Every structure is written in C-alpha cells, then in structure tokens.
C-alpha cells in the first residue's frame, strides 16, 4: 500500500494554490498530505458507500457530529458536489482507499475503475480547516512546521452505533504550548462544522492511546518540552467504522489527504 509523503514533497508553494489548482494537480496524480495546501479553502473527508448503507452512514454521522460533521451528501452515483464547481470526487483527491468487507484492498490516486452507480458520497468536515484560525491566534502547528502529516489515533471511546455501523472515535493530535491552550480551545470551538473544540487535552492514556510516537494514521510529530497534547475528533472515524462494521464496499480518502473545496474557511466560523 502507498505511504504518506511529507507535505514538503507535495510542493513548497502549495499553500498559495487555489482550490482549483490543487484539485487539478491531484487529478494529474500528485499525492501527499494536504495540511496547508490552498490556504483558506475548506478541506473535507470523503466516504462513499452503497446506497443501501447510506441511511446508516447518515444516521451514524447525525449521532456522532463531533467526529462526523456532514458538509454535503451526493445523490447516488454522482461524483459532483456543491462544495466545488466542476470537481470530480473520483479523481480530485490526492489518494483514496478502497475497502471490501472492511478490508483495505487498494490505495489509488484515481477511483474511476472502482466507481459504482449506487455510491452515495459524504463530505465531512476536516480539522485542517481550523488551522488557519489557530495560526491567526498565534498557535503553532507542529506538523506543518515539520512538513509532516498530522498524527491520528484510534481511541477506546466508542461512537454511538447507527444501524449496522459502529466503531471507535479517531482523533487527531496537535501539541500546544500551555500559553496557547485557551486560544486553541476558543478558536476551534467557533468552528463546529469542522470538529469544533478538542475532545481531550493532556494524558493520552485517557483515550486509550499508549504511545504518541506511534500514531495509527499520519506521522509522529516532535513536541516542544512543555507542549500539551491536544486531541480533536477526526473525520477518519468513518473509516474505523468501516473496519469494524465491514460493509461490502466503500471508498474513502487516504488519512490526511483531503478534498479541497471552493468554500472559504471563514464561512464555517460561528459569530
């Protein structure tokens, strides 16, 4: 299977791209984490499931809004979204994951060969979207500074089941200096459509995480000596539900390699 590549290997100027440019580059086969890419544009997680599983997925997201805030849902078979004019959900993400019976079977950069006419796609808010607010408040973003994918961990917190879907919450982690902790909580709390405020600060064992240096997805990051690990609900949670619930087929984004929308980040800020 493919390995994530550091953001620095995507393109050093990627932060200045438009969302349209980013999608075009990914459509041409460029792959890698999207933190900081097309700065100011909302990023989204993707999960596509057969239509007979779509209600279960919608109910799962409704019952678990913190890790699964829905930004858009497509019609069955459609690969377009109101969030990005002219975009193709089959080609315009850096990398995908293809699942059969809960098992990962492929990680292509294009899923046209896997696409089905009965697939319903869910675009779910991504924490990369609130990083502009953190940066604006002076909060350092360690994984961006270090050119790495954000670390993500499967926790022991179970999501509320919905129909045939169940599974654990996944979280992303950002080390935050103590003096910036209140700003990090405040700023992300104003963006509930992209996971909102943290679900936990401090001791990772409270979430069942044994070793921060060994994330389940993404890359480990180097924290400063006094940094506090801060955990946000993560849109990879539906992938954990796929692994636990084993639907016959699903397509998702590769963790950290998101869909770039035309929507501006500030449109999701609660005022």
Quick: pLDDT tens for 1-31: 444 443 344 566 888 999 999 999 999 999 9
Range of the domain at 211: 129-233
Q: Is residue 172 part of a domain?
A: yes
111 and 139 belong to one structural domain? no
Q: Per the domain annotation, does 7 fall within a domain?
A: no
Angle between helices 51-63 and 237-245 (to 10 degrees): 130
- The mean pLDDT of 242-270, rounded to a whole number, is 95
User: Is 10 within the bounds of a domain?
Assistant: no
Number of domains the chain is built from: 2
Q: Do 141 and 118 share a structural domain?
A: no
Counting Cα atoms < 13 Å in the Cβ hemisphere of 213 gives 1
pTM exceeds cut of 0.85: yes
Same domain, 51 and 77: yes
Mean pLDDT of 52-67: 98
Q: What is the mean pLDDT of the chain?
A: 93
Q: Are residues 41 and 81 in the same domain?
A: yes
CATH of the domain at 143: 3.30.2040.10
pLDDT number for residue 6: 39
Q: Using CA atoms, how far apart are residues 97 and 102, in angstroms rounded to an integer?
A: 11
What CATH number does the domain containing 257 carry? 3.40.1640.10
């Amino acid at each position: 299977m493919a390995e994530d590549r550091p953001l620095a290997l995507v393109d050093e100027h990627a932060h200045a791209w438009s969302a349209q440019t980013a999608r075009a580059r990914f459509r041409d086969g460029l792959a890698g984490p999207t933190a900081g890419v097309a700065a100011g544009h909302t990023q989204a997680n993707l999960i596509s499931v057969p239509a007979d599983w779509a209600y279960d997925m919608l109910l799962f997201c409704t019952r678990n809004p913190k890790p699964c805030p829905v930004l858009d849902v497509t019609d069955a078979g459609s690969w377009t979204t109101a969030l990005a004019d002219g975009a193709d959900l089959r080609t315009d993400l850096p990398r995908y994951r293809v699942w059969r019976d809960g098992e990962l079977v492929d990680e292509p950069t294009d899923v046209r060969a896997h696409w089905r006419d009965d697939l319903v796609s869910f675009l779910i808010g991504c924490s990369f979207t609130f990083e502009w607010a953190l940066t604006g408040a002076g909060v350092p973003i360690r994984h961006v500074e270090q050119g790495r994918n954000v670390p993500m961990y499967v926790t022991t917190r179970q999501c509320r089941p919905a129909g045939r879907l169940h599974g654990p919450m996944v979280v992303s982690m950002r080390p935050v200096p103590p003096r910036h902790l209140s700003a990090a909580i405040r700023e992300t709390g104003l963006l509930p459509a992209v996971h909102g405020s943290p679900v936990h600060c401090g001791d990772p064992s409270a979430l069942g995480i044994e070793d921060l240096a060994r994330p389940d997805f993404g890359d480990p990051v180097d924290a400063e000596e006094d940094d506090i690990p801060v955990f946000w609900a993560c849109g990879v949670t539906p992938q954990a539900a796929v692994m636990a619930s084993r639907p016959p087929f699903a397509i998702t984004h590769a963790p950290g390699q998101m869909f770039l929308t035309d929507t501006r980040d500030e449109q999701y800020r609660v005022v």
